[in-house]
Amino acid sequence: MKKQKLLVAKIGGNIIEDKNALESFLKDFSKAKGPKILIHGGGKSATKLASRLGVKTEMIDGRRITSADNLEIVVMTYAGLLNKTIVSGLQKYNCNALGLTGADANVIVADKRPAQFVDYGYVGDVTNVSGKTIKGFLELGITPVFCAVTHDKNGQLFNTNADTIASEVASAMGTHYEVSLFYCFELQGVLENIDDKESVIECIDLERYTELRDTEAISDGMLPKLKNCFDALQKNVRKVHIANADFIKDNTIKHTTLSL
């Protein structure tokens, strides 16, 4: 039997931090047909709140070192303000959104990342996504909206990278649906030449990815994103797109498609 299509979209700071861009994206996303899931980050907001509270923010390779104080800030910002702003924003457009951390309905369980070269603090690496529970929500006509918070099933919440959550959720749903994963990006896609915004690489397969990685042709920040994409493709996800927000309403615009 042909599987039903499922859209998994991830948005980051460039959309979330801009009230008009967010409103416009949520309006377009709510119109996307069929079952869908949204994942959001929110690092910039967390950093701003930390600064207002006099809590130090420390990043290593773009990853937040999450002390107990930082974790509280992350949970307040991601699961509280941003998640509920997005959920109520989608409800406005008749998209029946349900905000989730990994702890809610036990949908995403993680292990605390072991302190090796770097102690990231309360950062969780995903160990299980309950595709069955998420499918149950989708079948009720609900659109799950995940923030970047997981738990260990033992009372501890964690900060977990939103790109990774998107990849893991998309993979878990691949058993039940034909999943396309869309990473919403500030640019048009992955650039061949970082100084030329028009130099979008339209197709990246595993061979091209390995080549780009080994020749250091793409920026450091892009590499973990691409790794998440190929992780998803290798675990049941049909297609991954890295594209500008407008892709949600017009999938013919120039963008990057990743495939194996």
CB 201 within 8 A of CB 256: yes
Chain Cα centroid distance, residue 100: 13
Residue placing its CB nearer to a copy of itself in the complex, 22 or 258:
22
136 interacts with a copy of itself by CB under 8 A: yes
Q: How far is the C-alpha of 239 from the C-alpha of 260, rounded, in Å?
A: 9
Which member of 17, 28, 69, 104 binds a copy of itself (CB under 8 A)?
104
Q: Which of 96, 219, 234, 251 binds a copy of itself (CB under 8 A)?
A: 96
Q: Which stretch binds a copy of itself (CB under 8 A): 1-9, 90-98, 115-123, 176-184?
A: 90-98
CB of 202 to a copy of itself, least distance (A): 36
**Does the protein bind a copy of itself through residue 92 (CB under 8 A)?**
yes
Q: Is 244 annotated as a binding residue?
A: no
Closest of 247, 199, 246, 192 to residue 222, by C-alpha: 192
- 149 is a contact residue toward a copy of itself (CB under 8 A): yes
- Residue 12-51 contact track with a copy of itself, rule CB under 8 A, x = bound: -------------------------------------x--
42 in a known ligand binding site: yes
Three-state DSSP class for residue 38: strand
**6 by DSSP, 3-state: which?**
strand
Opening angle at CA 258, ends 225 and 29, nearest 5: 75
- Residue nearer to a copy of itself on the CB measure, 87 or 229: 87
Q: Does 140 bind a copy of itself (CB under 8 A)?
A: yes
Tell me the C-alpha to C-alpha distance, in Å, between residue 211 and each of 156, 206, 207, 223, 228.
40, 9, 6, 12, 17
- Which residues, 6 or more positions from 126, have their beta carbon under 8 angstroms from its beta carbon? 102, 108, 109, 110, 150, 160, 164, 165, 168
Q: Whole-angstrom Cα distance, residue 99 to residue 225?
A: 23
Considering only residues 65 through 84, tell me which ones interact with a copy of itself, judged by CB under 8 A: 72, 75-81, 83-84
Q: Does 228 bind a copy of itself (CB under 8 A)?
A: no
Listing DSSP states for 81-101 in one string gives: IIHHHHHHHHHHTT--EEEE-
Of the candidate spans 118-126, 151-159, 196-204, 216-224, the one that interacts with a copy of itself by CB under 8 A turns out to be 151-159
Contact between 99 and a copy of itself by CB under 8 A: the answer reads yes
Residues that bind a copy of itself (CB under 8 A): 49, 52-53, 72, 75-81, 83-85, 87-89, 91-92, 96-101, 103-106, 133, 136, 140, 142, 149, 151, 153-157
Binding residues for substrate, as ranges, are: 42-43, 64, 159
Binding residues, as ranges, are: 42-43, 64, 159
